[in-house]
Amino acid sequence: MASRGRGAAPFLILLAFLAAQCFHQSTEAKKVTTNLHFFFHDILSGPDPSAVLVARRSGRTGPNGAFGDVSVVDDPLTEGPEADSPVVGYARGIYVSASRQSPILVMGLDYGFTAGPFNGSSFSVFSQNPILDRHREVAVVGGRGKFRMAQGFANLRTYSINATTGDAVVEYSVTLFHYE
**Hey, what domains does the chain have and what are their CATH numbers?**
33-179 (2.40.480.10)
C-alpha distance from residue 102 to each of 35, 78, 133 (Å): 31, 28, 11
Q: End-to-end CA distance of the chain, in Å?
A: 47
The answer to whether residues 174 and 152 touch, using CB atoms and an 8 Å cutoff, is yes
The pLDDT value given to residue 168: 95
Which residue numbers in the chain have pLDDT < 50?
Answer: 29
The pLDDT value given to residue 17: 63
**How far apart are the C-alpha atoms of 4 and 63, rounded to whole Å?**
75
The answer to whether residues 148 and 179 touch, using CB atoms and an 8 Å cutoff, is yes
The pLDDT value given to residue 175: 98
Element (H, E) at 47: none
The pLDDT value given to residue 103: 87
The pLDDT value given to residue 145: 95
